[in-house]
Amino acid sequence: MIVDLHIHTNLGSVCSQLEPDELLERTEELGIDAVCITDHHSHRGADRMIDYARGSGFPIFRGVEIYTELGDMLVYGMKRDTKYPLTTFEELVEMAELDGAAIVPAHPCRGWDPKHEHKHVFPEQIVEYIAAIETLNGANKARSNEWAERIARELDIPGTGGSDAHALWQVGKCVTIFESDIGSEEELVAELKEGRFRAAYMEDLLDKKD
């Protein structure tokens, strides 16, 4: 099952130009099976997108992107909104554990430059609390994703993929391929915690079909 795990629409993110009808049309064109709406600190946009897509048969899952002092975190299965603009990572872990949610660091190596390797430090103190690392982010440069993939390998943590789309042309650039079909937010969280998935560039998947 192909899922874009990192999407922002204009229903919940002021920084996004992506219209809900555009999102549904583009995912159908690409052959994406589901998306997860991950607006900042709130499920409001995800809830509105679910209502908009009701009756379409296309699965929309809820997530949220949360700013912390240790980086931006994608959280799946959170049952509450969080304070803006910053939630401490410790606070996030407490809430995620209470809700049974899965935490995935978003674009952890964005802006990293291989010429200055010594300046980049992944916060390894978070490793025991996360389900995966977003290794493929559609808004990143290739080298940032390569760094994230390297860190995931070194730490033996699975990687997810998401477009981080804020506009139509970004939708589906990076995706997560799950081994099983997912029909609910609870199943999504369970699969993330079990590590039964891999990240991919949608372009590579389309090339293989051709």
Residues 139 and 161: their CA atoms lie apart, in Å, by 11
State residue 116's pLDDT score.
Answer: 56
State residue 105's pLDDT score.
Answer: 98
Q: Please report which confidence band the pLDDT of residue 73 belongs to, taking 50, 70 and 90 as the band edges.
A: very high
Alpha helices in the chain (DSSP H): 20-30, 44-53, 89-99, 142-155, 185-194, 202-209
Residues 120 and 114: their CA atoms lie apart, in Å, by 9
Classify each residue of 76-98 as buried b or exposed e, where b means 16 or more C-beta atoms within 10 Å of its C-beta. Answer: bbbeeebeeeebebeebbebbee
State residue 115's pLDDT score.
Answer: 60
Query: Residue 86 pLDDT more than 70?
Result: yes
State residue 84's pLDDT score.
Answer: 82
The pLDDT tens digits of the residues spanning 151-201 come to 999 999 999 999 999 999 999 999 999 999 999 999 999 999 999 999 999
Out of 73-77, 109-113, 155-159, pick the least confident.
109-113
State residue 134's pLDDT score.
Answer: 98
State residue 163's pLDDT score.
Answer: 98
State residue 85's pLDDT score.
Answer: 81
Q: Please report which confidence band the pLDDT of residue 126 belongs to, taking 50, 70 and 90 as the band edges.
A: very high
Q: Please report which confidence band the pLDDT of residue 119 belongs to, taking 50, 70 and 90 as the band edges.
A: low
The percent of residues above 70 in pLDDT, for the chain, comes to 96
Contact 134, 104 (CB under 8 A): yes
Overall average pLDDT of the 19-39 stretch: 97
The percent of residues above 90 in pLDDT, for the chain, comes to 90
State residue 118's pLDDT score.
Answer: 52
Out of 57-61, 82-86, 87-91, 106-110, pick the least confident.
82-86
